[in-house]
Amino acid sequence: MAGVAGLVLNTFPCTQCGLCCQNVHLAAETRYLDRGDGTCTHYSELTTGCSIYAERPDICRVDRQFALNYAQQYSWQTFVELNLQVCRLLAEQAAVPAQRIRLVDDPDL
Ligand code: SF4
Ligand code: SF4
């Protein structure tokens, strides 16, 4: 895929889980998008995606963020891995309540 600023980037392997859009309160750069419960005001529960995808802000575009702010520090591959670490942390965080519910519902506890 051709990235911005003439960089050739592989596509970021987003699974479209929507967790980053449901946790915009966690980063100073995206906090302004919080509708009040940590979820972005542009997140659609109906489609589980961004309702303004084509016009989403630069902070939501991983390839643009790389070109604008991180290309001098990291390779694209490293930048992808750093972002994926955040994706995994969000997935682990999201799994905790489900685990707790299962434990509480366990009649043996
Ligand atoms: S948390 Fe990661 S995998 Fe999930 S939608 Fe956001 S960028 Fe994609
Ligand atoms: S603007 Fe779109 S891509 Fe960005 S956090 Fe909100 S819902 Fe997600």
* pLDDT tens figures, 36-93: 999 999 999 999 899 999 999 999 999 999 999 999 999 999 999 999 999 999 999 9
Q: What is the pLDDT of residue 95?
A: 84
> Which residues form the pocket of ligand 2, taking CB atoms under 6 Å from any ligand atom?
21, 24, 30, 33, 40, 42-43, 50, 52, 56-57, 60
Q: How many CB atoms lie within 10 A of CB 33?
A: 19
Whether the predicted pLDDT of 96 surpasses 80: no
Q: What is the pLDDT of residue 39?
A: 97
* Ligand 1 atom nearest 16 alpha carbon: 5
Q: Quick one: tokens of 86?
A: 């955040």
Q: What is the pLDDT of residue 107?
A: 45
Q: What is the pLDDT of residue 70?
A: 96
Kindly identify the ligand whose nearest atom is closest to the C-alpha of 56: 2
Q: Quick one: tokens of 1?
A: 């895929």
Q: What is the pLDDT of residue 97?
A: 55
Q: Quick one: tokens of 68?
A: 């604008």
Of the pLDDT bands very low, low, confident and very high (cuts 50, 70, 90), residue 105 is very low
State pTM to two decimals: 0.81
